[in-house]
Amino acid sequence: MKANLPNTDLPRVVVIGGGYGGITVAQALRKAPVQVVMIDKNNYHTFQPLLYQVASGGLEPDSIAFPLRKMFAKQKNFTFRWAEVDRVHPDKKCIETSIGTINYDYLVIATGSKTNFFGNKEIETNALGMKSIPESLDLRSLILQNFEEAHDHQSTEVQDRLMGFVVVGGGPTGVETAGALAELKAHVLPSDYPDLDLDLMDIHLIEAGGRILKGMSENSSQDALRSLEKLGVSVHLNTLVTSFDGSVVETKSGEKIDASTVIWAAGVQGAAIDGLEEAIEQRPNRLKVDKYNRVEGYEDVFAVGDIALMQTEEYERGHPMVAPVAMQMGEHLGKNLAQMFKGAPLKPFRYFDKGSMATIGRNKAVLDLGKLHLRGIVAWLGWMFVHIFYLIGFRNKVVVFVNWVWSYFTYDKGTRLIIRPYKRKDKNSKEKVAAG
């Protein structure tokens, strides 16, 4: 069965994934003589850097999401289909989806990444990732459910476990999540749960390497570590988590931590699609691409963003799996394809690193701009400005800004709602792999 798409005599460019890589490709092709077909398992784009704020109750999910159809409403050569992609058939130049087969002249894979549990099924079953809005809402519900349950128990042992939180992974996501939990403990939860002894609430950040924020400067790493410790977060370096059964975290050294909530931010891997196995670098599960983002071994298949592994002298292991890389790759590829249709040669991609940043809490952030290192309120304001700037949609920018201003002056987070109670996954359940 073929998917229902508008008939066209123009070349068809199919883009799989509505993240930053996918939308920038499509936008760059808005004036090109092609039909652009985007496919995603969600009908919205997610601003992933702020997912942790949804999880901690700082923002509502609709403030960091934007409908894809609305985003491209004025682009005449654009068509969107809400679907999951099952397989690519490069020999037939088509893809299998949940709504039928779709033929393509050129294929752009922008499926992004997914949480990497490194093959540990027990942790995958019991811990929570944070790569999507549903996962963030699950985490928000679980956090609040734990406090409600702790409120009903008189046993300090049970309360200690229910109010124990372990964040695994010392990258920006882990650091920002741990900081957000610490601020909840300091400013929000005491008024919500005055009968609970919040001294029993422990927040642990566990990093397998020798320092947190290893992608940033040593100064930023040390500043972030000091800020987390001042907030009461216990930071464990050179520590590898080996198991989590739902109530106890165990490390390779034999240390055990009582906690009912583990947030897994220890790594990601490419969200690859079946059919292009020969081009996949297995360990990061990313598609090997050349300097033009063309997938190795295929003339008409391209990849951008987290799923693309472009190895250069500067980036021997590929570019970092972050939004700025996806945006630059997507825009560059879109312009390249538009020029290619005019008969012009492709230009090689080169990443321009605009800097790195992470926030730890109120007035606490670190920012690296080349050799310049900023910290404290200046870096925090810079972090706020950049994140609001890159949000899509004027309404979202205003809503997020107002929420942050309100939270800053009132020490309150206004979305502590259990919309749908979280239930842990069945150990026998299987994850369905989908694009987007």
According to CATH, the topology of domain 121-266 is FAD/NAD(P)-binding domain (3.50.50)
Task: Decide if 176 is catalytic.
Answer: yes
* Residue 370, pLDDT score: 87
Amino acid at 344: A
Token pair of 310 as six digits: 């472009």
* DSSP code per residue over 385-398: HHHHHHSSSHHHHH
Nearest-angstrom CA–CA distance, 395 and 150: 37
Residue ranges in the chain modelled with pLDDT below 50: 427-436
Helix (H) or strand (E) holding 168: strand 164-168
Whole-structure pTM value: 0.92
> Alpha-carbon distance 356 to 217, whole Å?
9
282 is written with which tokens? 């297995």
CA-closest candidate to residue 354, choices 372, 340, 338, 342: 372
The half-sphere exposure of 298 on its side-chain side, counting CA atoms within 13 A, is 27
Which burial class, exposed, middle or buried, applies to 389 when counting CB atoms under 10 A from its CB (0-12, 13-18, 19+)? exposed
Instruction: Give residue for tokens 């989806």.
Output: 97
* CATH 3.50.50.60 fits domain 12-41+83-115+269-340: yes
Q: What is the pLDDT of residue 92?
A: 96
CB crowding 275-303: b at 16 or more within 10 Å, else e: bbeebbbeebbbbbbeebbbbbebeebbb
Domain boundaries, the chain: 12-41+83-115+269-340, 121-266
Domains 12-41+83-115+269-340 and 121-266 share a fold: yes
Residues 6+ apart with CB under 8 A from 214: 170, 171, 221
Tokens representing 23 are 């939308």
- pLDDT on residue 15: 98
The pLDDT assigned to 1 comes to 87
Strand order in the sheet with 106-109: 78-82, 35-40, 12-16, 106-109, 301-303
- On whether the CB atoms of residues 100 and 5 are closer than 8 A, the answer is no
Identified catalytic residue from 60, 124, 176, 207:
176
> Residue 430: what pLDDT?
41
- Check residue 425 and give its pLDDT: 65
pLDDT score for 273? 94
At 426 the pLDDT is: 54
Strands 65-67 and 78-82, bridge-based pairing: unpaired
Instruction: Give, to the nearest 10 degrees, the angle between helix 376-390 and helix 394-410.
Output: 150
Predicted local distance difference test score (pLDDT) of residue 413: 76
What are the start-end ranges of the E strands in 220-296? 234-236, 241-244, 248-251, 256-258, 261-264, 268-270, 280-281, 286-288
